[in-house]
Structure 1
Amino acid sequence: MSEESDQDRTEEASEKRLREAREKGELPRSRELSTGVVVLAGVSSILATRDELALHARNIMMLGVRYNREDLYSADGISHVLSAAALEALRMLAPLFVVTIVAAFAAPALLGGLNFSGQALLPKFDRLNPIAGFGRIFSTNGFVELGKSMLKLVLIGGVLVWYMMKSRADMLGTGSGDVAAGVHRSLGTIGQACLFFACVLGLIGLIDAPWQKFSFAKKMRMTKQQVKDEHKESDGNPEMKGRIRSMQIQMSRRRMMQDIPKADVVVVNPSHFAVALSYEDAMRAPRVVAKGMDVIAMQIRSVAGAHRVPLVEAAPLARALYNTTEVGQEIPATLFVAVAQILAYVFRLKTALAQGDAMPEKPNPDVDPDLLGRYRMNDEN
């Protein structure tokens, strides 16, 4: 099953998958590289401050072997010596502690960056499964870890044995001579041995780091189905989005039809376009309350006729209003004059009908053809 799954994972990991893995504390890490950096930082600190280390070590040894009469007969003589030795040891090791702590935090940033995850601290009981444990042991990663362990054993052990044989005379001579010189020589020998250790471990880490990045990228790969599911989750189900969009259009159309009785006039094409306009004294300009083409235009004409809203045929103006203005917006300034002619005609028409006067002449507003956009007039309509 795992082999089939690995074969199916042909797609690169998405940003969402990598972000979720980071939140779980899953990042490419090389223990050999981190250990090598920490040891190298510590060794460098020892070699750079070995004179001060030798001085502090000498002071600690002197505190341990030298007593005066007051210390022997004093009740707190031993505690005084121990506290002085502890303070001296703290002064000696403080630079080393600071350097190694900084290196321990900085080393992971070389490969996967700094990251803190609370989920990584939670116990994972699936690791207690012996079958899964055997699977990890005999996996490709398990054989790689075994190879690294054998390589570390051979290289580090061989280099340290070679160095011990090489510096055997120096190590045997540290017990003779001045104390300060012996401590200084011991620290130098230990520092060089640790330096060889750090270099070998760092070399293994430089080999291991690309493998860890490759292994992590391979683990994070996704199947085509996972990519599709993630797109659905992030972008939403297309069918559901279409259904929501359809419901929104229906609700908007229903509100639009409810506003038609409040309109002052409906400008028509005569049949392909219909735009309902409303104008009140508080408005800066007439406002479109409804508009539509074809079937929607027929519905607007029907609702307007049922509520006795005047219909005025002005084909270029109807198309220009449909092209330039959305429902709820005020008409553009370039159409003020044309719409004013229509509203004035409607006012005169209502007055004539109320008083029994002659019908006013219907206007033919002049409209800039560029305002019609893709709804320009042709011979058919």
Structure 2
Amino acid sequence: MAESDGQEKTEQPTEQRLRQAREKGQIPRSKELGTAAVLLSGALGLMMVGDGLGYAMSQVFTRNFSIDRAALFDPQTMLPALSDSLLGLMWPLLGLFAIVLVAALVGNSLLGGVNFSSQAMMPKLDKMSPAKGLKRMFGVQAMVELLKSVAKVLFIATLSISVLWGQFDNILRLSNETLPMAMVDAIELVLRMGLLLCMALLPIVAIDVPFQIWNHTRQLKMTLQEIKDEYKNSEGKPEVKGRIRRLQQEMANRRMMGEVPEADVVVVNPTHFSVALRYDKFSPGAAPRVVAKGQDEIALKIREIAREYEVPVISSPALTRAIYFSTKLDGEIPEGLFVAVAQVLAYVFQLNNWRKGQGNKPIPLKEDLPIPDEFKV
């Protein structure tokens, strides 16, 4: 849509766009970072296991060059000799391979993290299109990769010549050393030069990693219309959202109405408001709670259910409005209304006892209940 409208992709990608790209396997990756990690770990690994590997190789050479003439013509000795040679080299090589393997996994997951995408593994017919293949070959991305490769070759070649020139005297000095020491010094020299050349990749990595992050973000940029469409799709159409809110409100009202039969009293403003209260007298320190409240039609329904289940309905307009506007559903009444509500509950409990024949008829409740001025509405 963005292309057809001619809009420019100027907006940063949203979290949803980034998540969808990751699910498709489209994440920033730096080949240079992985290559540098493998080469540097390989050079350092050779330095770490070099002594053990050199000793194992010398043992293999000594063993194989000291086989007597009779054993050389015996086919039965070939496999044992090969097995001994491989076992002698196995542990140093396994250590080196383990170091390189861990470095390859870490180096390739440092940028973009570990990501498994089934969509990225699916075959895509558009990748088989010759026209799109030529476009990729001669596109901007291909030109950037070509320039990077040329610059990388020139940089490493220049550094290699500098390293060789700097070590030229040491290389010539090897010819004056005896054979065992010459081999040791030659190996150390090669490893040191190899490590320097591998470290030459670090400046390339320092340039490539920010570029890959920038290029990944650039490819995922969005137009204003795409952001609006995404928001509309994620949030839903207004009429659908309104329908959902109405259904949620109806469900909440049904749950609330189910609490009315368990209330101790319903206080009402005869025309507009109703509030159902419940007090757990067996819970120390508990305050009366609002289990249902409403106005107009909902208020009438609360009163209707209360009368059906013989829950006392007390008319107290000022107290009803005070509770309605100061207390949330399923919340405890504020401390300032404790005295007024306590008088209502005491009247209700005395009324219930009188109806059961367990006491005298209570004195009618006063109309002017003690309600602080801050709660008067």
The interval holding the TM-score normalised by the smaller chain is 0.7 to 0.9
Check whether the contact 2:347–2:365 (CA below 8 A) recurs between aligned residues.
no
For residue 105 of structure 1, report the CA deviation from its aligned partner.
Answer: 1.9
Q: Which residue of 1 aligns with 2:118?
A: 119
Check whether the contact 2:290–2:327 (CA below 8 A) recurs between aligned residues.
yes
For residue 207 of structure 1, report the CA deviation from its aligned partner.
Answer: 1.6
Q: Which residue of 2 aligns with 1:364?
A: 367
What is the CA–CA distance in structure 2 between the aligned matches of 1:207 and 1:160, rounded to whole Å? 20
Q: How many residues align?
A: 366
Q: Which residue of 2 aligns with 1:58?
A: 58
One-letter code aligned to 1:336:
A
One-letter code aligned to 2:370:
V
Structure 2 residue corresponding to 1:336, chosen from 338, 342, 345 = 342
One-letter code aligned to 2:324:
Y
One-letter code aligned to 2:60:
I
Q: Which residue of 2 aligns with 1:198?
A: 198
Percent of counterpart pairs with the same letter?
34
Question: Relative to 1, partners in 2 of residues 1:41 and 1:7: Cα closer, same or farther, differing over 3 Å?
Answer: farther
For residue 160 of structure 1, report the CA deviation from its aligned partner.
Answer: 3.8
Q: Which residue of 2 aligns with 1:292?
A: 294
For residue 211 of structure 1, report the CA deviation from its aligned partner.
Answer: 0.7
> 1:12-44: CA deviations, max 9, x gaps?
233343344344443322111221222122112
> 1:209-239: CA deviations, max 9, x gaps?
1111111222233333343344445545443
Unmatched tracts of structure 1, length 5 or more: 352-359
Q: Which residue of 2 aligns with 1:314?
A: 316
What is the CA–CA distance in structure 2 between the aligned matches of 1:55 and 1:94, rounded to whole Å? 15
For residue 76 of structure 1, report the CA deviation from its aligned partner.
Answer: 2.0
SS at the partner of 1:292? strand
Check whether the contact 1:341–1:365 (CA below 8 A) recurs between aligned residues.
no
Question: Relative to 1, partners in 2 of residues 1:330 and 1:99: Cα closer, same or farther, differing over 3 Å?
Answer: closer
Check whether the contact 2:312–2:348 (CA below 8 A) recurs between aligned residues.
no
One-letter code aligned to 2:342:
F
What is the CA–CA distance in structure 2 between the aligned matches of 1:258 and 1:99, rounded to whole Å? 67
Q: TM-score, normalised by structure 2?
A: 0.73
Check whether the contact 2:28–2:111 (CA below 8 A) recurs between aligned residues.
yes
Check whether the contact 2:53–2:89 (CA below 8 A) recurs between aligned residues.
no
Question: Relative to 1, partners in 2 of residues 1:279 and 1:139: Cα closer, same or farther, differing over 3 Å?
Answer: same
Identify the range of structure 1 (267-276 vs 130-139) with the bigger mean alpha-carbon deviation.
267-276
What is the CA–CA distance in structure 2 between the aligned matches of 1:98 and 1:179, rounded to whole Å? 32
One-letter code aligned to 2:319:
L
Aligned ranges for residues 219-368 of structure 1 at < 5 Å? 219-250=219-250, 253=253, 267-275=267-275, 291-294=293-296, 296-297=298-299, 313-323=315-325, 333-334=338-339, 335-341=341-347, 363-368=366-371
Check whether the contact 2:257–2:292 (CA below 8 A) recurs between aligned residues.
yes
What is the CA–CA distance in structure 2 between the aligned matches of 1:143 and 1:259, rounded to whole Å? 72
What is the CA–CA distance in structure 2 between the aligned matches of 1:174 and 1:2, rounded to whole Å? 67
Q: Which residue of 2 aligns with 1:145?
A: 145
What is the CA–CA distance in structure 2 between the aligned matches of 1:272 and 1:286, rounded to whole Å? 22
SS at the partner of 2:294? strand
Question: Relative to 1, partners in 2 of residues 1:9 and 1:182: Cα closer, same or farther, differing over 3 Å?
Answer: same
What is the CA–CA distance in structure 2 between the aligned matches of 1:276 and 1:213, rounded to whole Å? 60
Identify the range of structure 1 (208-217 vs 152-161) with the bigger mean alpha-carbon deviation.
152-161
Identify the range of structure 1 (32-41 vs 155-164) with the bigger mean alpha-carbon deviation.
155-164
Question: Relative to 1, partners in 2 of residues 1:289 and 1:151: Cα closer, same or farther, differing over 3 Å?
Answer: closer
What is the CA–CA distance in structure 1 between the aligned matches of 2:74 and 2:141, rounded to whole Å? 62
What is the CA–CA distance in structure 2 between the aligned matches of 1:204 and 1:25, rounded to whole Å? 25
One-letter code aligned to 1:369:
P
One-letter code aligned to 1:122:
M
Identify the range of structure 1 (77-86 vs 303-312) with the bigger mean alpha-carbon deviation.
303-312
Check whether the contact 1:58–1:183 (CA below 8 A) recurs between aligned residues.
no
Identify the range of structure 1 (193-202 vs 288-297) with the bigger mean alpha-carbon deviation.
288-297
One-letter code aligned to 2:116:
S
What is the CA–CA distance in structure 2 between the aligned matches of 1:53 and 1:256, rounded to whole Å? 78
Unmatched tracts of structure 2, length 5 or more: 357-362
Question: Relative to 1, partners in 2 of residues 1:264 and 1:184: Cα closer, same or farther, differing over 3 Å?
Answer: closer
Check whether the contact 2:275–2:290 (CA below 8 A) recurs between aligned residues.
yes
What is the CA–CA distance in structure 1 between the aligned matches of 2:232 and 2:138, rounded to whole Å? 37
Check whether the contact 2:2–2:225 (CA below 8 A) recurs between aligned residues.
no
What is the CA–CA distance in structure 2 between the aligned matches of 1:307 and 1:90, rounded to whole Å? 86
Aligned ranges for residues 82-231 of structure 1 at < 5 Å? 82-113=82-113, 115-119=114-118, 122-125=121-124, 126-160=126-160, 180-181=180-181, 183-231=183-231
Root mean square deviation of aligned Cα: 4.8
Check whether the contact 1:291–1:327 (CA below 8 A) recurs between aligned residues.
yes
